[in-house]
Chain A
Amino acid sequence: MEAAVLTDRFPRTQVLPAQDMPTYQVAGEDLLETVRFLRDAQGFDLLADLCGIDWKDRTPRFGVVIHLLSTTHKEYVRLHVGAVHDAVPSVSSLHPGANWHEREAFDMFGIRFDGHPDPRRILMWDAYPYHPLRKDFPLAGIEVPFPAADVAEVTGQSVKPAPMMGGPFVSPGGKMSEGEPSALDQSWNEEKPKA
C-alpha cells in the first residue's frame, strides 16, 4: 500500500520514518475512519497489537500504537495516535480483539478509550489506584492497602514497595562512554601518592 493512498484520503495523517514497516501519525478524530478504511479497502484484517506508550516530554503525553496485519498481502502497518486529554477513540467496534488490549492500556497508563464497552482494569485488581507503566511511577511500587480486607487483617500485610537495595544496577542509558573506565579522582595514583 502506498503512503499516498492514506495521506490523500486523510490529510491530517503524517508519514513517520521507520525501518521495518510503514508508520503513520494519525489524528484522533480520523482514527476510526482510518482503521475502517484499512480493514475494508486495503485488507488489513488482523489487529496484531494495540498498546499505550508514555512519551514523557511530548504533548500529548500518552500515545497509542496500533499494529495492523494483512493476512492476504502479508504486510504490516503501524499507526501512532496521540491521546489528546488522555482519550483516544476505541477501535473495538471494528476489531473486537482490541477490547482487551485497550483495557490493558487503560490499566497501565490511564488512557481512556471512548466507546469502549467494558472499561475496567484487567491486569491489576479493580481497586488499585495507580497506573503502573507511567514513567513517574517507580518500579518498586507505592504502598497501598492489600486487595482483600480479610486477608490483610489476618496477616497484617499491605502492598509494600519491593526492596530495591539501591538497584536496578544498570546505567541510565544514552550514549556509551567512549573512554576506558578510570578512577573518579585523578589527583593521585601509584606513582604519585595522595597528598
Chain B
Amino acid sequence: MKTTKEISLGDIAARAEELRGENMTLNMGPSHPATHGVLRLSLELDGDTVVKCDPVIGYLHRGDEKIAENMTYNQFVPYTDRLDYLAPLANNVAYAIAVEKLAGLKMPERCEAIRVVCCEMARISSHLLGLGVYAMDTGAWTVFMYTFNEREKLYSLFEELTGARFTTSYTRIGGLTRDLPEGWLKKVEVFCDGVLKVIDDVDKLLTRNGIFLERTEGVAPISKELALAYGLTGPNLRASGVGFDLRKDKPYSGYEKYDFDVPVGTKGDCFDRYLVRMEEVRQSVRILRQACKSMPGGAWYAEDAKKIFLPPKAKIMTKMEELIQNFMIVTEGPQIPAGEVYFEAENPKGSLGFYVVSNGGGVPYRLRIRGPSFVSLSILPVIVPGNYLTDIASILGSLDFVMGECDR
C-alpha cells in the first residue's frame, strides 16, 4: 500500500538549514608558505567559500618607532633597511629625504641622480620577487627561479656599491655613504638589458597562460572608490584605475628630469595588479637607462650641511675644526632643527611615509613610519569574503605586501 507524505515548503527550508551545518573556523597561521611572512588569517569558511576574514598582524612588531626615539638619525638608517626588506635602498632614500626636508637641505644633482638609480633598482628587485612569489603561489615554479636568478645579479651590483647584498644602509642624512665605484654604471646598463629579457620570458610564461588567467582574472576586484577609501597607494591603487604616482605628481630627488610612463589598470583585479607590476619594471629600466647616461658629476653630498653631514676624511685628519665636527656629529647625532615633516616616497609596495617630529638635537622626538603594506592588508576583510579558500593565495600574492613594513 502506498502512502504519500505531505511536505510543506517550511519543512524543506528547515531541512536545508539542517544540512547546511556550521561554518568552519580555520586559522591560516603565522607560519605558512603562502602568507609571505608572519601573517595570520582567521577565516570562517562555509564549505570552500570564505565568509569572514580577520587578519592578525603584529608577529613581527619589533618596536622600530620606539627605538627611533632613542637613536640618532644616522643610527636609525639600518632599521629602515629592514622595513621593506625586499627594497632596502628605497627605504633608505625615503628616510634620508624626509629628514633632509626637515633640516631644509638641498641635495646636489649627483646625489639625487644616484638616489634615483638606487630607488629604481630597488623597485626592480622588489617587483621581481613579488612576481616570482606570486607566480609560485599560483603554481608556476619556473618563474620564481628565473626572477630569483636575476635578483642575484642585482645583489652583486648592490654589494659592489654598498658592501652588503641587501640591508644596504647606503644613505646618510645629507648625502650618501660613498660615491659610485668605477665602472659600476656600465654594469647597471648591462643588467638592464638582461632584466628585460627575463621580464619577456615571464610575460611569455604567464600573461596568456590559461591557468594563471583562471586563477587571477576577476578575482577580488577593488574598485576605485574602495581603493581610495582604504588609503591604498602604489601599484595596488594604480591597478584600480587611479593614476596617482608620487614620482610624477609630487616629484622628489630629481624625478622630474626623467621621461617615463605610469601604468594604470582598469578593473583592479589580481591580474591587473600583476600587469601593472610587470610594466613598472619596464618603465624602471627606462628611467635607469636615462639616469646612467646622464649621471652628473660633482658633489655626492650636501657640502653646506655643517653639523649634519660628516666632513670629508682628508679634512678630518688634518684640520681641527673638522675633527671636532666629526666627533660631535657621530656622538650627538646630526643636528636637525625643531619642527615636523611628513614625506612620502613612491616605494615599490606603495607610499612609504615618514612623519618626523623634532625638538632640535640629534634624536627625533617622534618618528612615525607609514608602511604601505599595513594599509594594503587592511583591505583584506573586505575583498577576501566571497572567494574560495584557494583564491586567498592569489589575493595575497597580488597585494604584494611584506610584514617588515606592516608590523615595523
A residues whose Cβ falls under 8 Å from a Cβ of B = 18-21, 23, 45-49, 51, 53-54, 65, 67, 71, 74, 76, 78, 95-101, 104, 108, 121-125, 132-133, 137, 139, 168, 170-177, 180-181
Tell me how far the C-beta of B210 lies from the nearest C-beta in chain A, rounded to whole angstroms.
Answer: 35
Known: A123-B57, A124-B58, A139-B63. 17 other contacts (CB 8 A): A19-B341, A46-B228, A48-B344, A53-B357, A54-B366, A78-B342, A97-B230, A99-B378, A108-B65, A133-B66, A168-B70, A170-B332, A171-B333, A171-B362, A173-B333, A174-B360, A174-B361
Query: Given the known A-B contacts A123-B407, A168-B70, A173-B362, are A96 and B341 also in contact in the complex, defined by CB atoms under 8 Å?
Result: no
**Residue from the list A19, A98, A133, A173 in contact with B65, Cβ < 8 A:** A133
Tell me how far the C-beta of B375 lies from the nearest C-beta in chain A, rounded to whole angstroms.
Answer: 6
Task: Report chain A residues within 8 Å CB of B165.
Answer: none
> What 0/1 readout, one digit per residue, does chain B (331-358) give for beta carbons within 8 Å of chain A?
1110100011111100000010101010
9 contacts between A and B (CB under 8 A): A19-B104, A67-B342, A67-B370, A95-B231, A97-B378, A104-B374, A172-B361, A173-B362, A176-B361
**Residue from the list A78, A95, A123, A172 in contact with B229, Cβ < 8 A:** A95
Q: Do A171 and B104 have beta carbons less than 8 Å apart?
A: no
Task: Report chain A residues within 8 Å CB of B229.
Answer: 95-97
Task: Report chain B residues within 8 Å CB of A123.
Answer: 57-58, 61, 407
Query: Given the known A-B contacts A20-B342, A78-B342, A170-B70, are A181 and B327 also in contact in the complex, defined by CB atoms under 8 Å?
Result: yes
Tell me how far the C-beta of B44 lies from the nearest C-beta in chain A, rounded to whole angstroms.
Answer: 15
Task: Report chain B residues within 8 Å CB of A180.
Answer: 320, 324
Q: Give complex CA distance A173, B242 in Å.
A: 42
Q: Do B231 and A46 have beta carbons less than 8 Å apart?
A: yes
> What 0/1 readout, one digit per residue, does chain B (308-337) give for beta carbons within 8 Å of chain A?
000000000000100010011001110100
Is B215 in the interface zone, CB < 8 Å from A? no
Q: Give complex CA distance A30, B133 in Å.
A: 46
Q: Give complex CA distance A113, B401 in Å.
A: 27
Q: Give complex CA distance A96, B28 in Å.
A: 24
Tell me how far the C-beta of A137 lies from the nearest C-beta in chain B, rounded to whole angstroms.
Answer: 8
Task: Report chain A residues within 8 Å CB of B344.
Answer: 48
Q: Give complex CA distance A160, B303 in Å.
A: 45
Q: Do A67 and B353 have beta carbons less than 8 Å apart?
A: yes
Task: Report chain A residues within 8 Å CB of B366.
Answer: 53-54
Q: Give complex CA distance A186, B271 in Å.
A: 72
Q: Give complex CA distance A48, B342 in Å.
A: 10
Q: Give complex CA distance A38, B379 in Å.
A: 23
Q: Do B70 and A45 have beta carbons less than 8 Å apart?
A: no
Q: Give complex CA distance A122, B254 in Å.
A: 38
Task: Report chain A residues within 8 Å CB of B186.
Answer: none
Query: Given the known A-B contacts A48-B231, A97-B230, are A176 and B355 also in contact in the complex, defined by CB atoms under 8 Å?
Result: no
**Residue from the list A71, A100, A174 in contact with B244, Cβ < 8 A:** A71
Is B71 in the interface zone, CB < 8 Å from A? yes
Q: Do A172 and B363 have beta carbons less than 8 Å apart?
A: yes
Is B147 in the interface zone, CB < 8 Å from A? no
Q: Do B363 and A171 have beta carbons less than 8 Å apart?
A: yes
Is B75 in the interface zone, CB < 8 Å from A? yes
Tell me how far the C-beta of B270 lies from the nearest C-beta in chain A, rounded to whole angstroms.
Answer: 20
Q: Give complex CA distance A67, B377 in Å.
A: 19
**Residue from the list A18, A48, A95 in contact with B353, Cβ < 8 A:** A48
Q: Give complex CA distance A177, B232 in Å.
A: 44
Q: Do B360 and A175 have beta carbons less than 8 Å apart?
A: yes
Closest residue on chain A to residue B57 by CB atoms: A122
Q: Give complex CA distance A78, B72 in Å.
A: 25
**Residue from the list A124, A139, A176 in contact with B328, Cβ < 8 A:** A176
Using a CB-CB cutoff of 8 Å, which residues 72-127 of chain B contact chain A? 72, 75, 101-102, 104
Task: Report chain B residues within 8 Å CB of A174.
Answer: 359-361
**Residue from the list B244, B340, B363 in contact with A170, Cβ < 8 A:** B363
Q: Give complex CA distance A176, B332 in Å.
A: 7
Task: Report chain A residues within 8 Å CB of B71.
Answer: 168, 170
Tell me how far the C-beta of B316 lies from the nearest C-beta in chain A, rounded to whole angstroms.
Answer: 14
Please list the 8 inter-chain residue pairs (A to B) with the smallest Cβ-Cβ separation, ordered nearest first: A97-B231, A173-B361, A123-B58, A97-B230, A173-B363, A100-B378, A123-B61, A49-B370
Task: Report chain A residues within 8 Å CB of B196.
Answer: none
Query: Given the known A-B contacts A47-B231, A96-B229, A97-B229, are A132 and B250 also in contact in the complex, defined by CB atoms under 8 Å?
Result: no
Q: Do A139 and B332 have beta carbons less than 8 Å apart?
A: no
Q: Give complex CA distance A96, B383 in Å.
A: 13
Q: Give complex CA distance A171, B334 in Å.
A: 11
